[in-house]
Amino acid sequence: MNDGNVVRVKNLIKDYGAKNFKMRALKGIDLTVYSNDFIAIMGPSGSGKTTLLNILSTIDKPTLGEVFLGGRDIGKVSNRELAKIRRDKIGFIFQDYNLLDTMTLQDNIALPLALNGVSAKECIQRVEAVSGMFGLGEHLNKYPYQLSGGQKQRGAACRALITGPEILFADEPTGALDSKAGKDLLECLKNINESRNTAILMVTHDPFCASYAKDVYILSDGMIKCKISAGYSRKEFYDRIIDIQTSMGGDFS
């Protein structure tokens, strides 16, 4: 990690398509995420939110520019090292949870640790600790099909956090949840960000969800158009996000 930053992006460009028909999805993004940051990325459809998230989380590769994760340029590391970075430094939460329906919630949460060769004793202790933080202690023996959407997403968050990542990437984490479940999840994420100093970078179209972040970046046409930082209250921050959305127009979904 350099100067406390977890992710540093310099002049990030991403093109899609064939040689004669290229579409530039990201047009030179500069962004630095520090260890205690909680960032929400918003923007209209096709603005490049998911592309940015995919590149930062190493799922996709940039066309040009540099992406540093934990001080390493991900464009210059081998696939094996990239997998290691992904495993040790990054956590993921997907909109559709992606819990494995073949195993219990406890096994789902423990899986990243077990696969990394962490001792069974430590796996059990860490699962108990993190599931307690997300209020899932009573549901550990249940299978995903026995859980509600909110419980599943909190379970997915536990799985993402169990390895103690430096940054958590969340792609529309509340997209499939009702407002109560979404709020519970966001409260949990906020607590984790504050208590553990885990950076969170979340893509969302929901201003209410974004209002839990410390900073909101608005992306449009492949560029960061503006950054809004939280103020004295979440309500006030939410209003400002709505104002910016309204002023920019477009479909923020």
Residue of 3, 18, 21, 102 interacting with other proteins (CB under 8 A): 102
The nearer residue to other proteins, 64 or 124, going by C-beta atoms, is 124
Using alpha carbons only, give the angle 246, 252, 253 rounded to the nearest 5 degrees.
150
In the complex, what is the shortest distance from the CB of residue 76 to other proteins, in angstroms, rounded to a whole number? 18
Least distance to other proteins, CB of residue 172, Å: 15
Beta partners for residue 16, in sequence order: 23
Torsion of Cα atoms, 216 then 220 then 225 then 231, to 10°? -20
CB 22 within 8 A of CB 29: no
Q: Is position 90 an interface residue for other proteins (rule: CB under 8 A)?
A: yes
- Stretch near other proteins under the rule CB under 8 A, chosen from 40-48, 105-113, 195-203, 206-214: 105-113
Region label for 98, one of left (φ > 0), alpha (ψ between -120 and 50) or beta (otherwise) = left
Q: Is 70 in the site for other proteins (CB under 8 A)?
A: no
Query: Which residue, 243, 177, 237, is CA-closest to 211?
Result: 237
User: Does position 101 bind other proteins by CB under 8 A?
Assistant: yes
Q: Which two tokens stand for residue 17?
A: 């398509």
Taking CB under 8 A as the criterion, the residue among 3, 121, 138, 253 binding other proteins is 121
Min dist CB 160 to other proteins, Å, is 8
Does 115 interact with other proteins (rule: CB under 8 A)? yes
First to last CA, the chain: 33
Question: What backbone phi and psi angles, to 5 degrees, belong to 169?
Answer: -100, 130
Nearest distance from C-beta of residue 222 to other proteins, angstroms? 23
CA 103 from centre of chain = 24
Subset of residues 20 to 59 that bind other proteins, contact rule: CB under 8 A: 58-59
The DSSP code sequence of 49-62 is HHHHHHHHTTSS--
Closer by beta carbon to other proteins, 101 or else 187: 101
If binding is defined by CB under 8 A, does position 107 make contact with other proteins?
yes
User: How many Å apart are CA 78 and CA 37, to the nearest integer?
Assistant: 28
Q: In angstroms, give the least distance from the CB of 123 to other proteins.
A: 4
**Separation of alpha carbons 158 and 231, rounded Å:** 29
129 binds other proteins (CB under 8 A): no
Report the nearest approach of other proteins to the CB of residue 170 (Å): 13
Footprint of other proteins on this chain (CB under 8 A)?
Answer: 58-59, 83, 85-87, 90, 92, 94, 98, 100-103, 106-107, 110-115, 117-121, 123-124, 143, 145
